[in-house]
Structure 1
Amino acid sequence: MNDAVEFLIRLLRTPSLSGQEAAAVQVMVAQMAAFGWEAFVDESGSAVGQVGTDGPLVVLLGHIDTVPGEIPVRIEDGKLYGRGAVDAKGPLATFVWAARRAEQAGTLGCRLVIIGATEEEAASSRGAHAARDRYRPDFCVIGEPSGWDRITLGYKGRLLVHYRYQQPVAHSAGEQRAAPEQMVDFWRAIEQYCQHLNAGRSRLFEQLIPSLRRVHSDSDGINEWVEATIGFRLPPGVEPSTLAETLQTLAGAAHLSFEGACPAFQSPRTTPLASAFVRAIRQHGGQPAFLHKTGTADMNVVGPVWQCPIVAYGPGDSRLDHTPDEHIVLHEYEHAIAVLADVLAQLR
């Protein structure tokens, strides 16, 4: 077992739920400090490592937090299982070891900042917001699973909506619609709105997608109420504030509150950074392709502000994100390290 795999196993064995990342952050900081890099914990609780003294500033921004769900860490048939193996400790470990490989080979021609950011899985993206305000890089790579031979150029936006409707209790045989029925009417109105907006849009990346996350209703004998949380994945051209206004109209007398708003973001495929990845993937025998993801990532936070060439890259199958079968194929992890090391050698 090589050092890169051992490091990823240590990260996976150290729980790091959003808001509880401190122990895993220390694992990452200790490893980077052992390389002789400047390594520290920043004001957001994120792990930061810095290496290189000349050339353009490159930020490798991954996230160290995970969603809940314990998966025993183990290697079976060349696959490493564990919560965060794909999303996104695998890509984050790729950053660390690609930088180390380029440094040892003497090919690192840029200044690197490597960040294991906190609270990406929460609505706050605390680590990414701190990085956004601190740095102004020339290039940025976001640590998310794309597959070793794929490059992600864009992510959809997000809006979380918390719904609450309350009314006096009425007899179930009466004409008044119950509070849960009012919420169902709202959900149906959302579905109709999205179907109308999505007409003629064949790609998922171009569609407004709602998801009903939670519903709860109750009564104290005097009043009855219903609460729900609805998530939206926003395509380019749909702004969170505009959608919020529409939803408020559809909700009628219900109270809405909003969280985690961010617009979609896309980067062009003609940047020097994207071209460097294409060359490196081909050099290692892959057939590069570009992706647009239907989820949201820290690219949505930093991309609009930094306005630099930016992609997301990392080993792993994103269909395994948040699942009980989350694992990374070890030879893909090794390929990704080699590709990214070659990319870093080209950014001068």
Structure 2
Amino acid sequence: MQMNAVEFLETLLRIPSLSGQEGEAAAFLTARMREFGWYAFVDAAGNAVGQLGTTGPLVVLLGHIDTVPGMIPVRIQDGCLYGRGAVDAKGPFATFVQAARHLELTGRLRCRLVLIGATEEESASSRGAHYAREQYAPASCIIGEPSGWERVTLGYKGRLLVHYHLEQDAAHSAGEQPAAPEVMVAFWRELEAYCATVNAGRDRLFEQLLPSLRHVASGGDGMTDWCEATIGLRLPEGVEPDALAGHVASLAGSAKLRFEGGCPAFRSPRTTPLAGSFVRAIRQHGGKPGFLHKTGTADMNVVGPAWRCPIVAYGPGDSRLDHTPDEHLDLEEYQRAILVLADVLAQQV
């Protein structure tokens, strides 16, 4: 017996799928897609892939099925479905699956669809998207991320992770030598000052270089003191990860730096036929369409520059609930997003 849209998502939320541990979720998804009669498989990157349609342009629906840590009891309460991944981003990927199925059952499928439930989006590797990038050349692409059913996301900031490590000879706390944590703090302040210089005259967050201090630890063994930190940098357009890494390294003194997850910002124009399809579909369902530019990073940053096709991100949910202990999805919005997306896909001919 096949599940309805809510049962499908609720079951998916009950399957833990931390980054790098998506196997059970991928198996569930491919099994359900095979029940629809689609060609479905788990690819070499662990992605859950479903394919349907035999003619027309190729449209890739790329979402991610991994989540950040945090156990949220799965439940329906006051018309909302709670659970880790409800918003980010199992909900949007479930929307993909249900919209494609609705399109097929209503006889409006006139394109070829590839649905990809990608792995490791929540880690710096973005393994699933990097693998998919080399496998397909779509005419258009929709990324599964929460935008709200009336909104479409056109761009994401870039990212660079900085892993800082400093070791120095131990010294008395009353001496002149700064302690290892003090040296790290001085580096952090220099980096903040540099970002402030870059951001001068830039009012919008999407245009700013934003640093965040994600982790700090220190210690010593009586002979050597050490301090380590992880710093995240959100990059605006025009700031390239490699060039930024070089400048950050120049501020670090004798500390050792390791850089990870570098990707530039990416923005798609709102004048593409795909964006126009969303505007029409949202209005048809009584919504007021709008466009967003996000300060985070998504798999759009990975595939957008390579595929160079019309691309947007879409999915139900309030992105302010991403990674929070209160993550939940309004089920009425979920159903609306399914219908909107089905209408968008029906226009891809």
TM bucket by the smaller chain? over 0.9
**Does residue 1:116 correspond to 2:117, yes or no?**
yes
**What is the rounded CA distance, in whole Å, between the counterparts of 2:273 and 2:160 in structure 1?**
32
**Residue aligning to 2:131:** 130
Q: Deviations over 1:116-153 (max 9, x none)?
A: 00000011111101110000000000000000000000
C-alpha deviation, 1:2, in angstroms = 6.9
**What is the rounded CA distance, in whole Å, between the counterparts of 2:173 and 2:19 in structure 1?**
43
C-alpha deviation, 1:313, in angstroms = 0.1
SS for the counterpart of 2:172 is: coil
**Residue aligning to 1:3:** 4
C-alpha deviation, 1:185, in angstroms = 0.3
**Residue aligning to 2:202:** 201
Q: Can you give the 5+ residue segments of structure 2 that lack an aligned partner in the other structure? A: none
**Residue aligning to 1:31:** 32
**Does residue 1:223 correspond to 2:224, yes or no?**
yes
SS for the counterpart of 1:251 is: coil
- TM-score, normalization: structure 2? 0.99
SS for the counterpart of 2:303 is: helix
One-letter amino acid matched to 2:247: T
Q: Deviations over 1:159-186 (max 9, x none)?
A: 0000011111111111111111000000
Root-mean-square deviation (Å): 0.9
**Residue aligning to 1:258:** 259
**Residue aligning to 1:57:** 58
SS for the counterpart of 1:61 is: strand
**Residue aligning to 2:41:** 40
**What is the rounded CA distance, in whole Å, between the counterparts of 1:179 and 1:124 in structure 2?**
30
SS for the counterpart of 2:251 is: helix
Q: Deviations over 1:5-56 (max 9, x none)?
A: 0000010001100010011111110110000000000000110000000000
One-letter amino acid matched to 1:218: G
- TM-score, normalization: structure 1? 0.99
Q: Deviations over 1:88-137 (max 9, x none)?
A: 00000000000000111111110000010000001111110111000000
Q: After the TM superposition, list the runs of 4 or more consecutive aligned residues in structure 1 that deviate by more than 3 angstroms.
A: none
SS for the counterpart of 1:236 is: coil
**Residue aligning to 1:84:** 85
**What is the rounded CA distance, in whole Å, between the counterparts of 1:3 and 1:285 in structure 2?**
24
**What is the rounded CA distance, in whole Å, between the counterparts of 1:64 and 1:36 in structure 2?**
21
One-letter amino acid matched to 1:77: D
**Does residue 1:296 correspond to 2:302, yes or no?**
no
**Does residue 1:345 correspond to 2:343, yes or no?**
no
**Residue aligning to 1:147:** 148
SS for the counterpart of 2:29 is: helix
**Residue aligning to 2:23:** 22
Superposed counterparts of 1:88-107, under 5 Å: 88-107=89-108
**Residue aligning to 2:76:** 75
**Residue aligning to 2:314:** 313
One-letter amino acid matched to 1:194: C
SS for the counterpart of 2:134 is: helix
SS for the counterpart of 2:59 is: strand
SS for the counterpart of 2:143 is: strand
**What is the rounded CA distance, in whole Å, between the counterparts of 1:70 and 1:179 in structure 2?**
36
**Residue aligning to 2:169:** 168
**What is the rounded CA distance, in whole Å, between the counterparts of 1:144 and 1:284 in structure 2?**
20
**What is the rounded CA distance, in whole Å, between the counterparts of 1:314 and 1:173 in structure 2?**
56
One-letter amino acid matched to 1:259: E
**What is the rounded CA distance, in whole Å, between the counterparts of 1:170 and 1:4 in structure 2?**
63
**What is the rounded CA distance, in whole Å, between the counterparts of 1:307 and 1:29 in structure 2?**
28
Q: Deviations over 1:34-85 (max 9, x none)?
A: 0000000000011000000000000000000000000000001100000000
**What is the rounded CA distance, in whole Å, between the counterparts of 2:114 and 2:305 in structure 1?**
19
Count, aligned residues? 348
**What is the rounded CA distance, in whole Å, between the counterparts of 2:231 and 2:297 in structure 1?**
15
**What is the rounded CA distance, in whole Å, between the counterparts of 2:65 and 2:175 in structure 1?**
53
Q: Deviations over 1:181-220 (max 9, x none)?
A: 0000000001111111101100000000000001111111
